[in-house]
């Protein structure tokens, strides 16, 4: 298990938080995703044998946000 922090731009309201957390938590291998709206940081805990950083970034981008890690 591993934890990483993603930087997401464009999240401003609580719905953004829910969309991004939901999209990440839906991925097989992600066990926790927590958005901090103020900073745009997203802490994700995941099993690196099941899901990659690229998978997670793609899931966030699919929700319409720019992401870097
Ligand atoms: Mo809230 Mo986020 O109206 O893109 S869902 S700002």
pLDDT in tens, the chain (69 residues): 999 999 999 999 999 999 999 999 999 999 999 999 999 999 999 999 999 999 999 999 999 999 998
Classify each residue of 51-62 as buried b or exposed e, where b means 16 or more C-beta atoms within 10 Å of its C-beta.
Answer: beeeebbebbee
Q: Please, is 37 exposed, middle or buried when counting C-beta atoms within 10 Å of its C-beta (0-12, 13-18, 19+)?
A: middle
State the distance from the centre of ligand 1 to the C-alpha of 1, rounded, in angstroms.
31
Domain boundaries of the chain, sorted by first residue: 2-63
Q: Please state which CATH number belongs to domain 2-63.
A: 3.30.70.100
The pLDDT of residue 38? 96
Q: How many residues does the chain have?
A: 69
For residue 49, count other CB atoms closer than 10 A to its CB: 9
The residue contributing the CA closest to ligand 1 atom 4 is: 16
Measured distance CA(30)–CA(24) in Å, rounded: 7
| ipTM confidence score | 0.86
């Amino acid at each position: 298990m591993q934890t990483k922090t993603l930087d997401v731009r464009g999240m401003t309201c609580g719905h953004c938080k829910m969309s991004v957390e939901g999209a990440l938590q839906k991925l097989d291998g992600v066990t926790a995703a927590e958005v901090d709206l103020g900073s745009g940081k997203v802490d994700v805990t995941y099993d690196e044998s099941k899901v990659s950083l690229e998978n997670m970034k793609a899931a966030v981008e699919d929700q319409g946000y720019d992401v870097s890690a």
